[in-house]
């Protein structure tokens, strides 16, 4: 077990290092602005005194390295400073929204993951039949459509024409869980459509790859029933690619959520990011970007670790 822990620790170290590099990129990109943030906030017409006061307040009179370390120290303790538009603390601004986004992503994932894996395995078993061809065209269409296209089609049918679900997913504190699930069904369904298509294709590819290996052929030739070939011979080796597929697509879910939140006016962190980009509210942009990047890296890390745990060959790298 020791070597597994070592390998996982090593991956974790690499992940943390990449996150550190990304935090440097996120922080110092803002430094590329001509003049500084104070100038960008107050505009060209600002007086020298106002600029100096704002610089002092934001700590811009210190060197960039010190400010970066302070920002990083704050970020580790979940303190991202204050918004420069509203003056509120960034943490209170995006804390609840982050939980909302996580809820939406989890909702979509709970539906999409089992659905996609079952359908993916099914399509792999029925490969080169009409069913497979239709599934291929359908998933390709779903992947190729922008998220807002799917979202608006769902709104048009499910909420405008048939009146089954609300088009706007606004939330309030005193909602019960069924009410919440009903209210957020359409955004979750949009995400499910996109992510399921991705996952199905990747699962299909992984399984077909596996079914081509000689030991599966051997099992078939010795007369093992087809379901047994899948369950006893193929599945144990299929876990690694499937875990990989799931983790990668959950990472995809994190970015797909931005457009979906805007379509459905869902109070999530993606909406906050888009708003603050157009208002040029840099502390909020930086915080959101760091959170998204961290989640993305974490899920990719989970994919790596899952692959190591389920595939003994990866535990002994040559």
Partner 1 sequence: MSIFVIGYYTLLLAASCLAAYFNKRTWFLLVFSLTLVSFILGIVGGASMLRGVAIAAGMLALSAMVAYAFREFLIAIASNDMAKELRTAPLTAAFGMFVIFTYAIAGIFAPWIAPFGEAEVISTAFAAPDGDMLLGADQLGRDMFSRIIYGARNTVALALAGTVMAFLLGALAGLLAATTGGWFDQVLGRTSDVIMSIPSLIFALLMLSIFGGALANSTTSFWLMFGFAMVTGLLVVVAKAENNVLSWLVGLAILVGVSAAFSLGMLTIFNPSEVILILVVGVIYSPRVFRLTRAVAGNVVVMDYIEAAKLRGEGKWYLIRREILPNSTAPLIAEFGLEFCFVFLLVAGLSFLGLGIQPPTADWGSMVRENATLISFGDITPLIPAAAIALLTVAVNFVVDWMLHRSSGLKD
Residue 310: CB atoms within 10 A of its CB come to: 17
Instruction: Write the CB contacts of 279 (distance below 8 Å, at least 6 apart in sequence).
Output: 85
Q: Which is nearer to partner 1, 25 or 66 (CB)?
A: 25
Question: Sign of dihedral through CA atoms 204, 207, 208, 209?
Answer: positive
Residue 202 and residue 120 in contact, taking contact as beta carbons nearer than 8 Å: yes
Q: Which is nearer to partner 1, 141 or 312 (CB)?
A: 141
DSSP 8-state class, residue 176: -
184 phi and psi, to 5 degrees?
Answer: -100, 15
Sites of contact with partner 1 (CB under 8 A): 18, 21-22, 25-26, 29-30, 32-34, 40, 127, 130, 137, 140-141, 143-149, 152-153, 155-156, 160-161, 167, 208-209, 212, 251, 254-255, 258-259, 262, 273-274, 276-278, 280, 282, 285, 288-289, 292-293, 296-297, 300
Q: Which is nearer to partner 1, 21 or 164 (CB)?
A: 21
63 phi and psi, to 5 degrees?
Answer: -65, 155
Nearest Cα neighbor of 102 from 261, 278, 303 is: 261
Burial class from Cβ neighbours inside 10 Å (0-12, 13-18, 19+) for residue 4 reads: middle
Strand partners of residue 82: 89
List Cα–Cα distances, 126 to 24, 122, 236, in angstroms: 49, 6, 20
The C-alpha atoms of residue 94 and residue 297 are separated, in whole angstroms, by: 20
SS3 state at 223? coil
Residue 131: CB atoms within 10 A of its CB come to: 13
Q: How far is the CB of 176 from partner 1 (least distance, A)?
A: 26
Q: How far is the CB of 252 from partner 1 (least distance, A)?
A: 8
Q: How far is the CB of 283 from partner 1 (least distance, A)?
A: 11
Q: Which is nearer to partner 1, 58 or 251 (CB)?
A: 251
Q: What is the DSSP string of 95-116?
A: HHHHHHHHHHHHHHHHHHHHHH
Q: Which is nearer to partner 1, 140 or 312 (CB)?
A: 140
Residue 198: CB atoms within 10 A of its CB come to: 20
Q: Which is nearer to partner 1, 41 or 243 (CB)?
A: 41
Q: Which is nearer to partner 1, 29 or 106 (CB)?
A: 29
SS3 state at 182? helix
Q: Which is nearer to partner 1, 139 or 184 (CB)?
A: 139
């Amino acid at each position: 077990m020791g070597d597994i822990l070592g390998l996982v620790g090593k991956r974790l170290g690499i992940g943390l290092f990449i996150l550190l590099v990304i935090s440097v990129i996120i922080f110092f990109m803002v430094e590329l602005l001509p003049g500084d943030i104070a100038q960008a906030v107050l505009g060209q017409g600002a007086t020298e005194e106002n600029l100096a006061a704002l610089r002092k307040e934001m700590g811009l009179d210190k060197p960039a390295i010190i400010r970066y370390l302070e920002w990083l120290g704050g970020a580790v303790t979940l303190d991202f400073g204050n918004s420069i538009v509203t003056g509120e603390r960034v943490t209170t601004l995006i804390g609840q929204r982050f939980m909302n986004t996580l809820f939406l992503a989890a909702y979509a994932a709970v539906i999409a993951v089992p659905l996609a894996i079952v359908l993916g395995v099914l399509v792999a078993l029925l490969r080169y039949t009409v069913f497979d061809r239709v599934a291929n065209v359908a998933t390709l269409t779903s992947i190729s459509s922008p998220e807002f296209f799917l979202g608006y089609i769902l709104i048009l049918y499910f909420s405008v024409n048939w009146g089954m679900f609300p088009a706007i997913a606004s939330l309030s504190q005193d909602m019960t869980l069924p009410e919440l699930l009903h209210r957020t069904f359409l955004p979750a369904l949009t995400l499910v459509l996109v992510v399921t298509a991705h996952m199905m294709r990747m699962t299909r590819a992984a399984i077909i790859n596996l079914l081509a290996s000689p030991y599966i052929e051997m099992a078939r030739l010795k007369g093992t029933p087809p379901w047994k070939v899948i369950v006893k011979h193929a599945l144990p080796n299929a876990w690694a690619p499937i875990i990989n597929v799931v983790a990668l697509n959950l990472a995809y879910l994190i970015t797909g959520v931005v457009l979906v939140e805007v379509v459905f006016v869902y109070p999530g962190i993606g909406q906050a990011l888009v708003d603050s980009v157009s208002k040029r509210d840099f502390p909020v942009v930086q915080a959101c970007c760091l959170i998204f990047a961290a989640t993305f890296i974490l899920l990719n890390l989970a994919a790596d670790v899952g692959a190591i745990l389920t595939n003994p060959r990866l535990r002994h790298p040559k």
